[in-house]
Amino acid sequence: MHAGVIDVDYRFRDGWHCFTSRQLKGLYVANQDAEVAYSDVGNAISKLLSLNERISVYVEPAEEFGDFLRAVRRGGKPAQASAKSGQYVVHTERRCA
């Protein structure tokens, strides 16, 4: 099994927690609940890689949600349009048929 890393950018805008990636075209996950959005990113990455690259992968965040949230909130509540980069680890399982 091989592993790689996808860099993901986080923004909080107008009450929505948004995740995108410059590395993975089409990735956009947003939810008003930060934990829900954070947990959905791995599935979205997996689905995009399956559809676009025809590979089956398992994706997990490089840090726990609580650690991510603490990093975002350092210095107070995240401001509108504040940004933070995070990473998701991609484990290759097998090529799709």
Of residues 53 and 76, more confidently modeled: 53
Per-residue pLDDT at 1: 47
8 Å CB contact between 95 and 56:
yes
pLDDT at 41: 95
Q: What is the pLDDT of residue 93?
A: 62
Single pTM value for the model: 0.80
Return the exposure string of 23-56: e unless at least 16 CB atoms fall within 10 Å of the residue's CB, then b: ebeebebeeeebeebbeebbebbbebbeeeeeee
CATH code: domain 3-95 is 3.30.160
Structural domain boundaries of the chain? 3-95
